[in-house]
Amino acid sequence: MVLQLFLDTANIDEIREALSWGVISGVTTNPSLVAKEKRDFKVLVKEICDMVPGPVSAEVISLKSDEMISEARALSRIAPNVVVKIPMCVEGLKAVKVLSQEGINTNVTLVFSANQGLLAALAGATYVSPFVGRLDDVGNEGMDVVEDLVILIENYGLPAKVIAASIRHPMHVIEAARVCAHVATVPFKVLENMTRHPLTDIGIVRFLDDWAKVQDTFDK
């Protein structure tokens, strides 16, 4: 199994930059991230889908299952790599059941317990997204939900994949990998921080200094 990294953003520049690093294989968005971009939702989703050679999650905003299903069908027509994000609730489960029968990929979001995630997986979700950072914020151990959910899904051979979401810092990514999350979706800032280490910066400077000293000798 390979840990996949998705980028958690709706910003085209961030997606373009992260894709050029060769490390991300999908994108997740949510209504808050899309709202920040101040662009037409469907046009933006289409642009992201054309750039990303992997799943792109776009969220419905309806709260009734029949409306979620209509929204999901429309989103899925934008591009073949659209994954429809559905909020975890009874209406959401109903929608996931229908959509999975239609072959539309879903990502059940706002999951805060292993039971919620289990229900989403049983209903036919393609992805289930426990929110690690928001659980940590209220004094719970967010990664425990990811770990429990991975165990449940693996024990019973359910086809859903677990996305560790609401990732706030690089250690969350390591912890997600330790508990065998299938995917971690990370904001661009976290991805940037994952590239850095002060000893790398010091090492680069020292190598170049040493190199320049010798070159100076030969140049004289």
85 in active site: yes
CB of 88 to ligand G3P, least distance (A): 12
Number of residues in contact with ligand G3P under rule CB under 6 A: 8
In this structure, the dihedral spanned by the alpha carbons of residues 168, 174, 180 and 182, taken in order and rounded to 10 degrees, is 50
Of the two residues 34 and 99, which places its CB atom closer to ligand G3P in the complex? 34
Of the two residues 18 and 216, which places its CB atom closer to ligand G3P in the complex? 18
Beta bridge pairs of residue 58: 84
Print the binding letters for residues 155-194 with ligand G3P: x by CB under 6 A, - otherwise.
----------xx----------------------------
CB of 71 to ligand G3P, least distance (A): 17
Residue 8 binding ligand G3P, by CB under 6 A = yes
CB-based burial label for 38 (10 Å; 0-12, 13-18, 19+):
exposed
Q: Report 130-149 residues binding ligand G3P (CB under 6 A).
A: 131, 133-134
CB of 158 to ligand G3P, least distance (A): 21
CB of 109 to ligand G3P, least distance (A): 6
Side-chain-facing half-sphere of 99: CA atoms under 13 Å: 37
Output the residue with the shortest Cβ distance to ligand G3P. Answer: 166
Question: From the candidates 42, 46, 85, 189, which is the catalytic residue?
Answer: 85
The residue type of 209 is: D
Measured between alpha carbons, how far is 56 from 25 in angstroms, rounded to an integer?
Answer: 9
Report whether 167 contacts 143 (CB < 8 A). Answer: no
Q: Which residues bind ligand G3P (CB under 6 A)?
A: 8, 28, 30, 131, 133-134, 165-166
Catalytic residues: 85
